[in-house]
Chains A and B, each alone.
Chain A
Amino acid sequence: SSELTQDPAVSVALGQTVRITCQGDHLRTYYASWYQQKPGQAPLLVSHGKNNRPSGIPDRFSGSSSGNTASLTITGAQAEDEADYYCHSRDSSGHHVVFGGGTKLTVL
């Protein structure tokens, strides 16, 4: 079982906004980071910290955090955003890494 909890699946209509959430006590201590994984590809960092996007990530991706919950919001979802999304953090000790179970995003 994962120490970070994500909904297994979420769907969004093309062009609409979707929020993917991640819950866990570790998130009170450390910010989450978010990864997009498309079939046959390695995960790709799309958001980290309070709301940081790596170079090349569209600004429709934004991260946020409140209490023990981190969120990844996609504003104006595109067909190419259909993928699995994983949240990630360190555990409360800081010595180990934990991943959420992943959320499969379907763009309708």
Chain B
Amino acid sequence: QVQLQQWGAGLLKPSETLSLTCAVYGGSFSGYYWTWIRQPPGKGLQWIGEVIQTGKATYNASLRSRVNMLVDTSRNQFSLKLDSVTAADTALYYCARGYWMVGPRDRPQYFFDSWGQGTLVTVSS
């Protein structure tokens, strides 16, 4: 049973860099899309981006200029950095494991089957 455990600073000042790390326990690191998702207080889920084992990352266009995701395969960890944070970046941040299933003659499916516990990041002066 895979488990994701995340950590990072919870209180930042405007213009600082958000930094979170997620460790993967009990499962393979390859073959999955390692993802960061956030949820502003009282609002819905927003995909930040994903990174795969090779280090190739894809980001939400609205955050692309400020985001960097890395993998450390030796430790089965992946990380998120978000530069120049503002109050609008205040949210619960989750790491998650994404998985593709593609069957013959059927639509592909993609889903997040494991989530971290979440880290509340507050940006305030």
**Given A29-B107, A42-B117 in contact, is the A96-B112 Cβ separation under 8 Å?**
no
Q: Are B47 and A48 in contact (CB-based, < 8 A)?
A: no
Dominant secondary structure at the B interface: strand
* A15 at interface by CB-CB < 8 Å: no
Instruction: Report A56-103 residues with CB < 8 Å from chain B CB.
Output: 65, 86, 88-90, 94-102
**Given A49-B101, A101-B44 in contact, is the A95-B109 Cβ separation under 8 Å?**
no
Which A residue sits closest to B116, measured CB to CB? A42
**Given A33-B110, A42-B94 in contact, is the A99-B115 Cβ separation under 8 Å?**
no
Q: Are A42 and B118 in contact (CB-based, < 8 A)?
A: yes
Closest chain-B Cβ to A29's Cβ sits at a distance in Å of 7
B contact residues vs A (CB 8 Å cutoff): 35, 44-47, 50, 58, 60-61, 94, 98, 101, 106-113, 115-118
The 9 closest A-B pairs by CB, nearest first: A33-B111, A97-B47, A31-B109, A48-B111, A49-B109, A42-B115, A99-B45, A102-B44, A101-B44
A contact residues vs B (CB 8 Å cutoff): 2, 29-31, 33, 35, 42-45, 48-50, 52, 54, 65, 86, 88-90, 94-102
